[in-house]
Amino acid sequence: MFSFRPAIVRTNSAFELPQPVTSVRVQDSFDFAKLKAPQVLGDMLVGHTAGGVDIAIEGQIASHAGHLRFTEEQMFLTLEALRQAVHSSSLIDRYRLFLYFDPATATYRSFRECATVRFEYDLSRKQLFTYTLVVHASQPAIDLSAP
């Protein structure tokens, strides 16, 4: 069964994102040059190539790795762990962002060469903390291989 299992995976570690994840928005970008000749209708695109991918994830810290988070302290500890998991300040800190997993066929869907662009969290509702994570994947292809 193809299931949504978002996680940050590095060589020696894996960190499932706190649940529920309420939104995942993926933005592909493309580089190109647009040429226009005077007195000619229309224009021409040249050098059209895929750029990196930006992924914006919104979620709540209600559970993590199958365990409910009932108290502010439990949510805050999970938030601190998430902050550490998404920290990336150099090339060796890059990670894979896994989105889907199918255990029946051992098929995965992930982005490689990921770095955190922005991480925001809202602590104002003590009943349920929320977070927004923006990740940039330098490789635009969706990878199918295992971690």
Domains plus CATH for the chain? 3-30+47-137 (2.40.30.200)
- Predicted confidence at residue 78, as pLDDT, reads 97
Q: Are 108 and 147 in contact (CB under 8 A)?
A: yes
Over its length of 147 residues, how does the chain's per-residue pLDDT go in tens digits? Answer: 889 999 999 989 999 999 999 999 999 998 888 888 898 899 888 888 999 999 999 999 999 999 999 999 999 999 999 999 999 888 888 999 999 998 888 889 999 999 999 999 999 999 999 999 999 999 999 999 888
- Predicted confidence at residue 82, as pLDDT, reads 97
Q: Quick count: other Cβ atoms within 10 Å of Cβ 92?
A: 8
Q: Are 7 and 14 in contact (CB under 8 A)?
A: yes
Amino acid 9 reads V
The residue behind tokens 């098929």 is 107
- What tokens were used for 134? 């923006």
